[in-house]
């Protein structure tokens, strides 16, 4: 196995070296002749600066750019039609270069990197260590949601990394401000752990405590707490140093309890706790990730928190390099209630659900809409459903606040509840609901929260809806609109144009058509749903007809949905694979990941793969099990 990986790497590196001259001699002159004037000269349209790419290494890092460049060239959108056009022979040179360097390549592991815990992961890890959450009590009205976590209240939220996920923190180091907050949180955490009311949580580590601390209590506490926080059973040297310092403190008159507090606070401020990643810099090149890092990868991917004792023991016994054991652990972790934490983080960020929190509706309604897609994605993953049930399903998760969006024949399937006397607002849990009669529902796209997410008061936003579907579900990366995009045209005096006709004029602009030809069919296809997410039939005032990018026509969203399920299933499965892959590895997709991702998504499409199939394929892939140490 190691020989094969090394051979693959040698071939890949030698191929890249051979292509350096071809990039300089063939690709760079092409860019300067046809592209740089608009994308790197005085103007940088669409935030695409091709002038900044000067060699093959830089081109390789920008691998997603080239597929977009080729697509625009094939659609004759770049260069603009009023500019000089490349010949077929010139385009063929670009196509061949792209194919040899970005399609016909071998997979290799990603470079080994440390990454700090995201704010959510840090909160989850502290909670796992303590056995309870650090909370503050804030007075709020029943119709508002208030953050009660000390940690999430103090730490800034992590912006999405290049992968689009908040756990992609390799390029977001700890600054002085965050370090000070870590210090405060560490002190608060340990003081709370030692509080009388939390004695049972402390005794998880110390064993039964009597009136006076015993050395055995200290040994147990330092050993168990350090191993759990360091995510490794292989930290005896650190443990011995802590115990030696405690012994020295006692000789100076410091109590065992206070000395232990000091040591545990130091543990919470250690890089072993604050960062993930564990590799030996003395070994260079491609290699399996360490057993400790494999335990970390599994646990933070599927639980969003620290590995438990079973994972740490398997790592210590060197058993996490067995595919059989890995697959067993995936099932164990997903079957555990703790996996709901990770499925929520994944769904929230993948589907941009926090946009719903901007709603002006009352909190119980927002809560119902917000958690419906989260619980639905959790259901798909944990109950091992086929990937394409994301788009079409006879099951949803809902509460009584949502039944009005569904067919009356399905009302009996919704959970019922009554508001206790004196209760102003009732926030209800979601339950699994069968919706066989709600033919206009089913799947993520028809959930009322998704539909109302980008809508204004009493009006829909087909463009924003279309962009959301295109980027989140179809995997098409549009980027930011160019600065010179013309404004939406206003009807001329005497013209009585529909909302859709106005946008069709906008689409006819050469600088707009390439994006709107993709966006508009998806967005206007959802016009069967109003700004609040209620269904409405097509008619004089509701036009949901259109033509998908592949040319297939549809009369309404039901028709569009059939096209998505039958004709775009491979593309949607590929997108879900990319999203899950990026979240699992907490990093952006690199060019050398493409063979792995394409292999997995093709297998899922061919075999009607499930979400658990997808996760197992990612966990056992070269990208997950191996790393490259420079």
Q: What is the pLDDT of residues 381-432, one digit of tens each?
A: 999 999 999 999 999 999 988 999 999 999 999 987 665 554 445 567 889 9
pLDDT at 137 over 80: no
Q: Is residue 490 part of a domain?
A: no
Higher local confidence (pLDDT), 361 or 200: 200
Could you read off the pLDDT of 562-616 as tens digits, one per residue? 999 999 999 999 999 999 999 999 999 998 999 999 999 999 999 999 999 999 9
Domain holding 321, by residue range, is 285-338
Residue that wins the pLDDT comparison between 445 and 495: 445
pLDDT at 291: 96
Are 331 and 343 in the same domain? Answer: no
pLDDT of residue 28: 83
Q: Pick the last residue of a domain from 402, 417, 441.
A: 441
pLDDT tens-digit map of 498-527 = 666 666 655 655 555 556 677 888 888 999
Closest to 238 in 3D by CA, of 226, 228, 220: 226
Mark whether 344 and 330 lie in a shared domain.
no
Residues 334 and 381 in one domain: no
Rounded to whole angstroms, the Cα distance separating 333 from 311 reads 10
pLDDT at site 341 = 95
Between 65 and 365, where is the model more confident? 365
At 433, give phi and psi (nearest 5°): -130, 130
Q: For residues 350 and 414, what is the distance between their CA atoms, to the nearest angstrom?
A: 27
Per-residue pLDDT reduced to its tens digit, 64-112: 777 777 777 776 667 777 778 888 888 888 888 888 888 888 899 999 9
Is the residue at 222 inside a domain?
yes
**Signed CA dihedral, 200, 202, 206, 211: sign only:** negative
Q: What is the pLDDT of residue 305?
A: 98
Residue 373's nearest CA partner among 355, 396, 354 is 396
pLDDT for the residue 16: 46
CA atoms of 133 and 125, how far apart (whole Å):
10
In this structure, are 366 and 270 located in the same domain?
Answer: no
The structure tokens 């180091």 sit at 173
pLDDT, position 351: 97
Return the minimum-mean-pLDDT range out of 133-137, 342-346, 466-470, 597-601. Answer: 133-137
Q: Of the given ranges (58-62, 363-367, 621-625), which has the lowest mean pLDDT?
A: 58-62
The whole-angstrom separation of Cα 329 and Cα 380 is: 19
**Same structural domain for residues 74 and 223?**
no
- Give a yes or no: residue 143 inside a domain: yes
pLDDT at 356 (0 to 100): 92
pLDDT at 9: 42
In a domain, 535, yes or no: no
553 Ramachandran zone, left/alpha/beta (phi>0; psi -120 to 50): beta
Instruction: Please check whether residues 85 and 48 belong to one and the same domain.
Output: yes
Same domain, 240 and 331: no
pLDDT confidence of 13, banded at 50, 70, 90?
A: very low
Average pLDDT (23-41) is 79
Residue 233 CA to residue 227 CA, distance in Å, equals: 5
Q: How far is the C-alpha of 587 from the C-alpha of 180, rounded, in Å?
A: 26
State the average pLDDT over residues 244-250: 96
Checking if the pLDDT of 243 tops 50, the result is yes
| pLDDT score recorded for residue 495 | 63
Give pLDDT tens digits for 45-68: 656 778 778 888 888 777 777 777
Within a domain: residue 219?
A: yes
pLDDT band at residue 312 under the 50/70/90 scheme: very high
* pLDDT of 487 above 80: no
Crossing angle of helices 291-302 and 323-335, in 10° steps, is 30
DSSP-derived letter for residue 25 is: I
Mean pLDDT of the chain: 87
Q: Is residue 527 part of a domain?
A: no
* Same domain, residue pair 77 and 213: no
Confidence band, pLDDT 50/70/90 cuts, at residue 15: very low
Higher pLDDT, 462 or 206: 206
- Report pLDDT digits (tens) over 256-300: 999 999 999 999 999 999 999 977 777 888 999 999 999 999 999
Integer Cα distance of 139 and 502 in angstroms = 48
Q: Rounded to two decimals, what is the model's pTM?
A: 0.88
Please check whether residues 253 and 164 belong to one and the same domain.
yes
Q: How high is the pLDDT of residue 500?
A: 67
Most confident of 7-21, 215-229, 415-429, 450-464: 215-229
Phi, psi of 533 (to 5 degrees): 100, 5
Quick one: pLDDT at residue 7? 39
At residue 30 the predicted structure's pLDDT band, cuts being 50, 70 and 90, is: confident
Residue at 552 is within a domain:
no
> What is the mean pLDDT of the segment spanning 160-182?
93
Pairwise CA distance, residues 282 & 528, whole Å: 61
Say yes or no: 177 and 64 in one domain.
Answer: no
Look at residues 251, 276, 301 and tell me which one is the last residue of a structural domain. Answer: 276
Instruction: With beta carbons less than 8 A apart as the criterion, state whether 369 and 447 touch.
Output: yes
272 and 289 share one domain: no
Number of domains in the chain: 4
Residue 296 contacts residue 278 (beta carbons within 8 Å)? yes
What pLDDT sits at residue 292? 96
Question: Pick the residue with more confidence: 477 or 454?
Answer: 454
Residue 292 placed within a domain: yes
Q: Is the pLDDT of residue 453 over 80?
A: yes
Q: Which residue has the higher pLDDT, 4 or 554?
A: 554
Q: Which residue has the higher pLDDT, 145 or 387?
A: 387
Q: What percent of the chain stands above pLDDT 70?
A: 86
pLDDT higher than 70, residue 148 = yes
Q: Which H helix or E strand runs over 226?
A: helix 215-230
How confident is the model over 544-556, as a mean pLDDT?
90
Length of the chain: 630
Is residue 163 predicted with pLDDT exceeding 50?
Answer: yes
Q: Which two tokens stand for residue 314?
A: 């398997």
Same domain, 36 and 122: no
The yes-or-no verdict on residue 1 having pLDDT over 50 is: no
Return the pLDDT at 14: 45
């Amino acid at each position: 196995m190691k020989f094969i990986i090394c051979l693959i790497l040698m071939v890949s590196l030698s191929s890249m070296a051979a292509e350096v001259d071809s990039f300089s001699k063939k690709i760079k002159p092409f860019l300067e002749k046809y592209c740089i004037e608009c994308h790197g000269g005085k103007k940088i349209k669409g935030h695409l600066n091709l002038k900044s790419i000067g060699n093959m290494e830089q081109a390789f890092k920008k691998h997603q750019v080239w597929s977009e460049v080729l697509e625009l060239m094939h659609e004759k959108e770049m260069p603009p039609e009023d500019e000089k056009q490349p010949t077929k022979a010139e385009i063929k040179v670009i196509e061949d270069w792209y194919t040899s360097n970005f399609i016909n390549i071998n997979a290799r592991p990603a470079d080994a990197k440390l990454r700090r815990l995201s704010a959510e992961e840090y909160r989850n890890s502290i909670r796992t260590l303590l056995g309870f959450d650090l909370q503050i009590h804030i007075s709020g009205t029943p119709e508002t949601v208030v953050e009660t976590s000390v940690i999430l209240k103090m730490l800034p939220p992590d912006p999405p990394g290049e992968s689009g996920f908040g756990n992609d923190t390799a390029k977001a180091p700890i600054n002085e401000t965050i370090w000070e907050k870590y210090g405060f949180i560490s002190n608060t955490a340990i003081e709370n752990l030692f509080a009388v009311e939390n004695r049972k949580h402390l005794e998880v580590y110390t064993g039964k405590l009597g009136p006076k601390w015993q050395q055995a209590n200290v040994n147990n506490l330092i050993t168990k707490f350090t191993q759990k926080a360091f995510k490794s059973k292989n930290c005896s040297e650190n443990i011995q140093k802590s115990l030696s310092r405690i012994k020295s403190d006692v000789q100076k008159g410091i109590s065992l309890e206070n000395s232990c507090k000091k040591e545990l606070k130091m543990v919470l401020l250690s890089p072993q706790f604050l960062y993930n990643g564990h590799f030996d810099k003395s070994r260079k090149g491609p290699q399996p990730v360490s057993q400790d890092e494999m335990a970390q990868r599994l646990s933070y991917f599927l639980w969003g928190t620290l590995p438990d004792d079973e994972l740490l023991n398997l790592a210590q016994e060197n058993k996490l390099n067995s595919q059989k054991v890995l697959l067993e652990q995936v099932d164990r972790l997903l079957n555990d209630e703790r996996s709901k934490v990770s499925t929520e983080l994944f769904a929230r960020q993948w589907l941009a659900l926090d946009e719903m929190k901007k709603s002006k509706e009352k909190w119980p309604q927002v809560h119902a809409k917000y958690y419906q897609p989260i619980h639905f994605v959790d259901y798909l993953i944990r109950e091992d459903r086929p990937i394409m049930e994301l788009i079409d399903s006879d099951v949803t998760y809902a509460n009584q606040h949502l039944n009005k969006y569904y067919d009356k024949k399905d009302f009996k399937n919704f959970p019922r509840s009554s508001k206790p006397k004196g209760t102003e607002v009732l926030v209800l849990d979601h339950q699994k609901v069968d919706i066989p009669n709600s033919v206009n529902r089913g799947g993520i796209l028809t959930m009322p929260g998704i539909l109302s997410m980008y809508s204004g008061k009493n009006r829909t936003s087909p463009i924003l809806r279309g962009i959301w579907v295109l980027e989140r579900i179809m995997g098409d990366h549009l980027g930011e609109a160019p600065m010179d995009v013309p404004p939406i045209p206003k009807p001329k005096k005497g013209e009585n144009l529909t909302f859709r006709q106005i946008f069709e004029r906008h689409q006819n602009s050469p600088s707009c058509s390439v994006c709107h030809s993709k966006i508009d069919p998806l967005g206007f296809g959802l016009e069967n749903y109003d700004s609040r997410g209620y269904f409405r039939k097509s008619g004089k005032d509701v036009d949901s007809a259109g033509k998908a990018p592949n040319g297939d026509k549809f009369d309404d969203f039901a028709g569009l949905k059939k096209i998505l399920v039958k004709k775009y299933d491979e593309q949607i499965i590929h997108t879900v694979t990319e999203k899950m892959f990026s979240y699992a590895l907490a990093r952006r997709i690199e060019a050398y990941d493409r063979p792995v991702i394409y292999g997995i998504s093709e297998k899922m499409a061919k075999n009607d793969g499930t979400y658990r199939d997808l996760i197992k394929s990612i966990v056992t892939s070269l990208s997950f099990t191996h790393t490259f140490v420079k």
